[in-house]
Chain A
Amino acid sequence: MKTNDKKPTRKELPAEGTEVTGSEALIFSLMKEDVGTIFGYPGGAIMPVYDALFDYRDRINHILVRHEQGAAHAAESYAKILGKPGVVMVTSGPGATNLITGLANAMIDSVPMVAFSGQVPSGLLGTDAFQETDVMGITMPVTKWNYQITKADEIPEIVAKAFYIASTGRPGPVMIDITKDAQFGKMKWHYEKCRKIRSYFPYPKVQMDKVEEAAHLINKAKKPLLIAGQGVLISNAQKELMQLVTRADIPVTTTLLGLSSFPADHPLYVGMPGMHGNMAPNIKTNECDLLIAIGMRFDDRITGRLDDYATQAKIIHFEIDHSEIGKNVPTDVAIVADARDALTKLLPLVKENDHKEWVESFRKEYDNEYRKVIRPARESRGDDIKMDEVVHMISEKTDGQAIVVTDVGQHQMVVARNYRFKQSRSFVTSGGLGTMGFGLPAAVGAKVARPDRMVIGFTGDGGFQMTIQELGTIAQHKLPVKMVLLNNSFLGMVRQWQDMFFDKRYSFTELANPEFTKIASEGYGIASKFIKKREDLESAVEEMLAHKGPYLLEVKVMKEQNVFPMVPAGASVSNMVTE
């Protein structure tokens, strides 16, 4: 790391009209877009840009990941925490193809991201040149927009467009492929932010007649239920959401990606709906007279069997993406707009209301779930530690104030169920794609985004090994991420399905694992601890939280614990099973 100790030489942007290279123009454009951090990995076709970056490394932080997939996930997480695009930079060919999972993940979870890949010189396009791959063709289905730059002077305009498209409307990933000759080429520097594209209409105006209809339904509802999705976080509508539900006395449930948009300790919070959600919001979905959905897309993991989903209720759908309206669930009133805009217009029309009995009835369902499922899992007395105990303890010890990141599987659902988020923008997970390997790099991205906050990344033993190399990123950049590895020696979620739906035939789901703490501590110099006894849990958690640097806590948990309650795939949300 000697080279990086050299002080950067240049700091300021050149005057408009100054001749610069395409690579410099790219770096300046990123500075114009207020990019603080790039997650990347260099290689031949992007070297000119990396060379230009070298002079500006005190203006733009670069996190060197260990695999391009990690760069994408870190950038997504960074974007979710800060509400602005994450930026990725990779080389051509394998560098670009390694991004695909991350792009797909960002696409389905509406995460703003701008990724740059180097490309072979334009004269060699289509010749199967070394490390050439059809990045445009390959990324088209997994990006909101993509573009190939072949001339230096296209760079500012396209970068401006990329950031505009990635962050506006329903956000998503944008891929920009830049040929090497465009990076070397010369151009006259100029920059103008993009504010409008003639074929793109990102923010529909709020239609007041619809808002009035919605207000009317809300004012006369006796048993309203509100589902807050990620759209609340994307549009920063947390405050408006709070005003709406406290004024009209409406219970709030948050989707997996909507978690932390509403404080879990609020009396109107009733948990998470869906397959591994809480019983109250699921059961009450089929009892409410009005369902208000904000910034969510009625994913099948939420609705269960569609023709038995909230059929008794009127449905109001706030959603910025018109193509989501009526896609899965027919709605009575659709408000196609930014959630905060719409709620701001709605609020003056909403009357104070009181639904005491209805709100209380959720409590009864919760108590039932608590008795049947939650408490037995948290207060286990058997020899084995259960995942719920660990997550619950960490939630208590951090007072629900941490940024929490997960991988995919049982532990993800256990975290979503047990961590009591009190602060907004505090949960990062892979929802729509369910990408194993997301957790560790996402924890990196979250910590880079908010160095001032505690970041805790939960992973399973399977997913941890999909991107375990990012321990190197954590070590090199000295990122004080807390990692909690819930090790059940199984691909737990798949094993649960084998248990429940495939006659307990555990086909290739048992894992023979390495000594993870050895890898972390001896290999990467990251402090770690392995525990398997309940009496060691509390002190280990405290030690991890108090530790200054990165820390891996591996907890050996029960091998065959199943996550309950559950709406089995294709069943109705009112039929949750508890065992």
Chain B
Amino acid sequence: MEKVEEFTVKVYSENHIGLLNRLTIIFTRRKVNIESLTTSEYHLPGVHSFTIVINTTESMIRKITSQIQKLVDVMKTFYYRTDEIIYQEIALYKVPTSALLESNEIEQLVRRYNARILEVTPEYTAIEKTGHKEDTQELLEKLKPFKLLEFVRSGRVAITKPMKELRVHLQELEEATDYSNKY
């Protein structure tokens, strides 16, 4: 059995309605679960980017990305192992302010985990932590005994370590394409 690993897929595409649907169909059709998904505008004009985290085998991720690359509105797609990217997730926690005031434990946690307090009202206190899932998860476990009211973690955002820019990749793709009178 091939080993299951965590992969981060980056997709650069046109910003068209329905593309997200077409992307997710490629995963669901192969019964591969999406762990997290973030979409945002890219810094090149009109380019949209998706960051998708999944746990699967390398041969499956290869098949999936080559299917994604086939989508008409997708410019380029890549997959990375965790050591090839710099990534973060953001987590927000809501605790009752009374719990914050009862002791200084929450404040100590906030400091120890490099989190920060975003807002304090008489009813609730909002805490933010940016980091990898394990870190935000650990803080979550620590905050649970303090009557945690709400918790949310974002999808992964990632930039890549390889230096080759998307622009160059696209140029190469274009140069490798034959546009001569076939149509």
Binding site for B on A (CB under 8 A): 136-137, 140-141, 144-146, 148, 164-165, 167-168, 195-206, 321-323, 327, 337-338, 341
Binding site for A on B (CB under 8 A): 13-14, 17-18, 21-22, 25, 29, 63, 66-67, 69-70, 72-75, 173-174, 176-179, 182-183
B-chain residues with CB within 8 Å of residue A164 when the two chains form the complex? 183
Alpha-carbon gap, A135 to B129, bound state (A): 42
Whether A203 pairs with B179 at a CB distance below 8 angstroms is yes
What are 13 contact pairs spanning A and B, CB under 8 A?
A136-B18, A140-B18, A141-B25, A146-B18, A148-B17, A165-B72, A196-B179, A199-B14, A202-B177, A205-B177, A322-B70, A323-B70, A327-B63
Pick the most buried of A137, A140, A165, A338: most chain B CB atoms within 10 A of its CB.
Answer: A140
Whether A338 pairs with B182 at a CB distance below 8 angstroms is yes
In the A-B complex, the 5 residue pairs with the smallest Cβ-Cβ separation, listed nearest first, are: A323-B66, A203-B178, A199-B75, A201-B177, A145-B72
A-B interface pairs (CB < 8 A), number: 66
Report whether over half of chain B's contact residues are helix, strand or loop; otherwise say mixed.
Answer: mixed
Alpha-carbon gap, A136 to B178, bound state (A): 30
B-chain residues with CB within 8 Å of residue A203 when the two chains form the complex? 177-179, 182
A-chain residues with CB within 8 Å of residue B67 when the two chains form the complex? 323
A-chain residues with CB within 8 Å of residue B176 when the two chains form the complex? 201, 204-205
A-chain residues with CB within 8 Å of residue B69 when the two chains form the complex? 322-323
- Identify which of B29, B66, B183 contacts A168 (C-beta below 8 A): B183
Given contacts A323-B66, A323-B69, A327-B63, are A204 and B177 in contact (CB under 8 A)? yes
Q: A323-B70, A338-B182 are in contact. List 9 more A-B contacts (CB 8 A).
A: A137-B21, A141-B29, A144-B72, A196-B179, A199-B73, A200-B73, A204-B176, A204-B178, A322-B70
A-chain residues with CB within 8 Å of residue B179 when the two chains form the complex? 195-196, 203
Alpha-carbon gap, A168 to B25, bound state (A): 23
Closest to A207 in B: B176
Within the complex, the shortest CB–CB distance from B9 to chain A, in Å, comes to 15
Alpha-carbon gap, A148 to B63, bound state (A): 29
Closest to A235 in B: B182
B-chain residues with CB within 8 Å of residue A144 when the two chains form the complex? 72
Alpha-carbon gap, A201 to B178, bound state (A): 8
A-chain residues with CB within 8 Å of residue B173 when the two chains form the complex? 201
Alpha-carbon gap, A322 to B72, bound state (A): 14
Given contacts A199-B14, A203-B182, are A140 and B25 in contact (CB under 8 A)? yes
B-chain residues with CB within 8 Å of residue A337 when the two chains form the complex? 178
A-chain residues with CB within 8 Å of residue B72 when the two chains form the complex? 144-145, 165, 197, 199-200
Closest to B12 in A: A199
Closest to B65 in A: A323
Alpha-carbon gap, A504 to B101, bound state (A): 78
